[in-house]
Amino acid sequence: MLPLKGIRVLDLSRLLPGPFCSMLLADFGAEVIKIEDPKKGDYIRWWPPLLGGTSGFHIVLNRNKKSVTINLKSDEGKKIFLELVKKADVVLEGFRPGAMDRLGIGYRVLKEVNPKLIYCAITGYGQHGKRALRAGHDINYLAMAGVLSYTGTEEGTPVVPGVQIADIGGGGLPAAFAIVLALWNREKTGKGDFLDISMTDMAVMWNCLRWGKFLADGKVPRYGDDMLNHGYACYSIYRTKDGRYMSLGALEPQFWENFCRALGREDLNVPEYFTPGEHQKRLKKELEEIFITKTQSEWIEFFAHVDCCCEPIRNLDEVMNDNEFLTRGLVVKMLHESWGAYMQLGNAIRSTQMQPLIRSHAPELGEHTEVILEEILNLTTEDIKKLRDGGII
């Protein structure tokens, strides 16, 4: 079952946060129509490396979607967009506050056209406030939210996460959640809504555990000061003989006990393993000397049947070829008539009643312009030719 079948989303967003949001909606049946500039479209289409002339980023983020090109700076293009809005459920955009208003198609205009419209705006700092118009990227939002203040090495050097936490976890994911909430609320009230999703605001919420600790002890978080932040030997990363790494997460007493027993080092199983202090550095040093004696593959085999939360740090090639992920649908084998065979990233949501489905590849720029204008707006072939000749689509 695709629970969002029948929901139409007009997606004006680009790059990562908005497209990730609409990808989630599309995977569960929403008709997502990317509204793109006729000349360049979504910038991420052209970011190398390319697969068959198309960016790998675009291939993953924009599956299950349709692409319509409209010049929104033209009067005729705005008219077409407004006609589409009349028959849409959601408009999603990721511009700075006021950009849509300057085009003459902001929320106040759109809600007059469609009072039941759900309008979702993803921005760096929200629609209002002194920072609202500042430019930014994931690294800036995490910095402003305090996340990077304790994400780093024990030497106190901040580290940029390899995953765009604010873009995805602060923008795309909460936007999808908010849209579904608004659609459900519309079912009960009959009213549309404006959703103000700030990636920095949401990144602040990712501080929940450290926030709680700070409330209780009044200590400002810093690098390597906590059990989940390089502070404890039982929860850390260790280099192996072949230059790879193992992750150890033996926080609970039973896991630490199993870990020590497997190593034949019951002497390490003392209450102090789970208390802060200088002894953690000494314990970590001992574990470093232990882990460096075997290769990663040897440690994988060693801990295969030990219940102690010790797993290898794997690269994406290994993840992509993991049979368990293939079985669970996180890696999906696809075949494109131009690109050839490739591995698509699946959807992690599992349910007994709903099943995400990858129905189509990421679209070419403007691939669905004609069919959408014909089906939704009842334009004729001649009408469409005039629009194309005039640079409107």
Tokens of 230: 């390089």
Helices 381-389, 369-377: crossing angle, 10 deg rounding: 130
Mean pLDDT to the nearest integer, 352-367: 95
Tokens of 311: 């797993």
Mean pLDDT to the nearest integer, 234-250: 98
In tens, the pLDDT along 92-128 reads 999 999 999 999 999 999 999 999 999 999 999 999 9
Mean pLDDT to the nearest integer, 176-194: 98
Tokens of 138: 């994931």
pLDDT at residue 155 above 80? no
In tens, the pLDDT along 10-69 reads 999 999 999 999 999 999 999 999 999 999 999 999 999 999 889 999 999 999 999 999
pLDDT above 70 covers a percentage of the chain that reads 100
How do 90-93 and 65-69 pair as beta strands? unpaired
Q: Could you tell me the domains of the chain?
A: 8-205+332-389 (3.40.50.10540), 235-317 (3.30.1540.10)
Q: State the pLDDT at residue 234.
A: 98
Q: State the pLDDT at residue 306.
A: 98
Q: State the pLDDT at residue 40.
A: 92
Mean pLDDT to the nearest integer, 188-198: 98
In tens, the pLDDT along 11-26 reads 999 999 999 999 999 9
Assessment of whether the complete model's pTM goes beyond 0.85: yes
Give the DSSP letter of residue 197.
E
**CA separation for the pair 299, 110 (Å, rounded):** 59
pLDDT at residue 362 above 90? yes
More confident residue, 225 or 255: 255
> Catalytic positions, please?
137, 167
Q: State the pLDDT at residue 386.
A: 95
Q: State the pLDDT at residue 347.
A: 95
Helix (H, G, I), strand (E, B) or coil at 292: coil
Give the DSSP letter of residue 152.
B
3-state helix, strand, coil in the chain (%, to 5): 40, 15, 45
Helix (H, G, I), strand (E, B) or coil at 216: helix
pLDDT at residue 279 above 80? yes
Q: State the pLDDT at residue 157.
A: 86
In tens, the pLDDT along 299-329 reads 999 999 999 999 999 999 999 999 999 999 9
